[in-house]
Chains A and B, each alone.
Chain A
Amino acid sequence: MANYVAHLQPELAVNYCQLVVVWVDDPASTRAARHELGATFPFLCDHERKLIAELDIVDTTDSHHSRIAIPYTFVLDAQRVIYRIYNGWWYVGRPTVEELRMDLRALVSRRSDWWYDDTRPPYAREQAARR
Chain B
Amino acid sequence: MQDNLRPGETFPDIELPGDDGKLTKLSSLMRGFPTVVVFSRGYY
Chain A residues near B (Cβ < 8 Å):
1-2, 4, 16-24, 27-28, 30-31, 33-34, 37, 42-47, 51-52, 54-57, 59, 65, 68-85, 91, 100, 103-104, 107-108
Q: Inside 8 A of A59's CB, which chain B residues have their CB?
A: 41
Instruction: Report the minimal beta-carbon distance from A131 to chain B, rounded to whole angstroms.
Output: 15
Q: Which of B1-44 contact A (CB under 8 A)?
A: 1-2, 5-14, 16-21, 24, 26-27, 29-44
A27 touches B20 (CB 8 A): yes
- B interface with A by C-beta (< 8 Å): 1-2, 5-14, 16-21, 24, 26-27, 29-44
Chain B residues whose CB sits within 8 angstroms of the CB of A83 once the complex forms: 7, 34
Q: Measured between alpha carbons, how far is A60 from B32 in the docked complex, in Å?
A: 34
Q: Knowing A21-B40, A71-B39 touch, does A51 contact B9 (C-beta < 8 A)?
A: no
* Known contacts A45-B16, A45-B19, A76-B30; A20 and B1 CB within 8 A of each other: no
Contact B18–A44 (Cβ < 8 Å): yes
Given A43-B19, A68-B41, A73-B39, does the pair A82, B5 have CB atoms closer than 8 Å?
yes
